[in-house]
Amino acid sequence: MTAHPKQTPSRVVVEAVEPEVGAGRFPIKRTVGEEVAVSADVYADGHEVLAAVVRHRPADGEWAEVAMTPGHNDRWTASFTVTEPGWHEYTVQAWIDRFAGWRRDLSKKFEAGQDVASELLEGAELVRQTADRLHGAEADRLRAFAETLSRCEPVDRVRAGLDSELAGVMASHADRSGGATYEPVLRVWVDRDLARFGAWYELFPRSCADEPGKHGMFQDVEKRLPYVAGMGFDVLYLPPIHPIGRAYRKGANNSLTAGPDDPGSPWAIGGPEGGHKVVDPRLGTLADFDRLVKTAQGFGVEIALDIAFQCSPDHPYVKEHPSWFRHRPDGTIKYAENPPKKYQDIYPLDFECDDWQSLWTELRSVFLFWADRGVRVFRVDNPHTKPFRFWEWLIAGVQEKYPDAIFLSEAFTRPKVMKHLAALGFTQSYTYFTWRNDKHDLTEYLTELTQTDVREYLRPNLFANTPDILNEYLQHGGPAAFRVRLILAATLAAAYGIYGPPFENCVGTPVKPGSEEYLDSEKYQLRHWDWSTPNPMRDLIARLNDIRRRHPALQSDRRLRFYHTDNDRLIFYGKSTPDLSNVILVAANLDPHHTQSGWVRVPVEELGMRPHSSYEVEDLLTGVFYLWHGETNFVSLDPGATAHVFRLWPRGRTERDSDHFV
């Protein structure tokens, strides 16, 4: 027969705690100052009164508690705020509150005119038992209550039993010995604000020279910092800056034969000068790079580096550690392939080789090398082609020394793989936004990212384009397509980015029909960009980044909501702060070729207004005000206007200072 438990089992059940990722295997993510809203199913047999708390603390700190509130169907809720970066922990604890149950029953029986003499004696004993566990003034105060419950006039005894002060003291010192605590203890990784909110700008340093045909250097990138900062970007992201191999170097437009002056692909990393801890001498020196990082910080911009764990045939690892690579039967090293594509200029690393521990340690040291030089933001190339456990181990090791390190996962891969990489530690993730261009796909995908449990661990960074991806929408949509994709990226997500010069110049020509590769791609050759001529796209970028910084509703993804329109070529959505003090509504024309109009539905009651009230919306892109009424209002957008980014102003406000009113 089954043996009895060694101790009295708890009658309390705590289950279905949220948020929880992977049954507690992975942490949720927050940034400093963000709230963690916790819910759990808490119940017990019978009709006992229960109490529950969320316990939380910074790792190795003192536990704090927040009382939970019961709701529908035994669902309890509470929230707490994380106040410092690094690891935090939380759990739910619940117990039978015998005094609260006694107090509830006493009140019912007394109001029904029943004799409660015995109940008062029971209450007195509960109070004495609690007093015996305490010392000092609180213990004395409880003993006084117990005496009143035992010996005074009946009305005074009942009044003492129902006293709110007594209830508070007893709740604070309830006997939790028969309670239950949820296991395992759950974790929160807390990042700095840039992990949640920021604008990224990508450029190739070698294309930053003032003169056409000249190889750019770090000092040329320094010259572009006022330009990048002036548009309001927080991160300047550089593709790999290391020496580029000569063997099998690719030529212009990814041709197999390179000319003597072709610079090669920055992702073919390594040459006689060194590998991942060396800079390409054509860009400058490590001292030049250090100066770039420091100068950028003075402009409020962080330098992000692309870390790609792959090697050219000329990388020092090939000679020094040949066992770190996979070999063919004839002994030669296998180059990278994605059949039928061949990448003869790249050797993949073998993360499962016999010497894998040394390999892993060396690769972690690459991140630490650049972090020691002041870099805290990393874009990681193709992480889905390396072992999950490797990334979990590496990220934890780097963040142990540098808790402010940010890792962006460039994993355009299967959904479950992308999500697993986010769960195991990547701070942000590229997404499928690049290929979501119609109303249905955008609504469905962004709702998944922001309104399901995915939001607890995957932070999207919506890049409107990349050096690898010039999607069909941008190829055929002209400037209007670039404008609307920019506005969508910047307002749908708190973190977004652009591959800068081609996007600003609305470059939409592919290398061939059906390809997403750029014609004359910077991946394989130098390009010269005009950084001085005024450009309407640059003005729009600067305006949007300024709007994002001034409006906290756009600095988080959790309150993104999509609203009804009667035209599928129009998309309408909103973001707000929890207190509704800042509400942003965006209406965008997804058709880059034609004017689209229709009725949009504003959830006025959800936004704190009366159903038929009048209110104003200010288009933050133009400064024009519109007077709207109730839920349904009309919008018309031509390809030139592209979108409205409205701030909602309830009537009666006092801040309006514009005479532009429609």
Strand 198-202 vs strand 235-238: parallel, antiparallel, or unpaired? Answer: parallel
Cα–Cα distance for residue pair 598/616, rounded to 1 Å: 19
From the list 466, 480, 484, 447, the residue with the least C-alpha distance to 574 is 447
Cα–Cα distance for residue pair 460/427, rounded to 1 Å: 9
381 in active site: yes
From the list 87, 177, 309, 197, the residue with the least C-alpha distance to 549 is 197
User: How many Cβ atoms from other residues are within 10 Å of residue 298's Cβ?
Assistant: 9
* Cis peptide leading into residue 19 (ω within 30°): yes
Cα–Cα distance for residue pair 8/102, rounded to 1 Å: 22
Cα–Cα distance for residue pair 147/144, rounded to 1 Å: 5
Catalytic residue among 202, 222, 302, 410: 410
Strand 86-96 vs strand 180-181: parallel, antiparallel, or unpaired? Answer: antiparallel
Helix, strand, coil: what percent of the chain each, to 5? Answer: 35, 25, 40
Cα–Cα distance for residue pair 106/164, rounded to 1 Å: 14
- List, in order, residues 6 or more apart from 304 with CB less than 8 Å away: 200, 235, 236, 237, 238, 375, 377, 378, 379, 406, 408
Cα–Cα distance for residue pair 452/610, rounded to 1 Å: 29
- 504's tokens: 């600003």
Contacts 24+ apart (CB under 8 A), 68-74: 68/38, 68/40, 68/42, 68/92, 68/94, 70/42, 74/41, 74/42, 74/43
Cα–Cα distance for residue pair 561/446, rounded to 1 Å: 9
Rounded to the nearest 10 degrees, how much is the dihedral formed by the CA atoms of 349, 355, 359, 362? -150
* Cis peptide leading into residue 329 (ω within 30°): no
Catalytic residue among 20, 119, 234, 381: 381
* Ramachandran quadrant class, 478 (left: phi over 0; alpha: psi -120 to 50; beta: rest): left
Give, as one character, the DSSP assignment of residue 631: S
- H/E stretch holding 644 reads strand 643-650
Which sequence positions are flagged as catalytic?
Answer: 381, 410
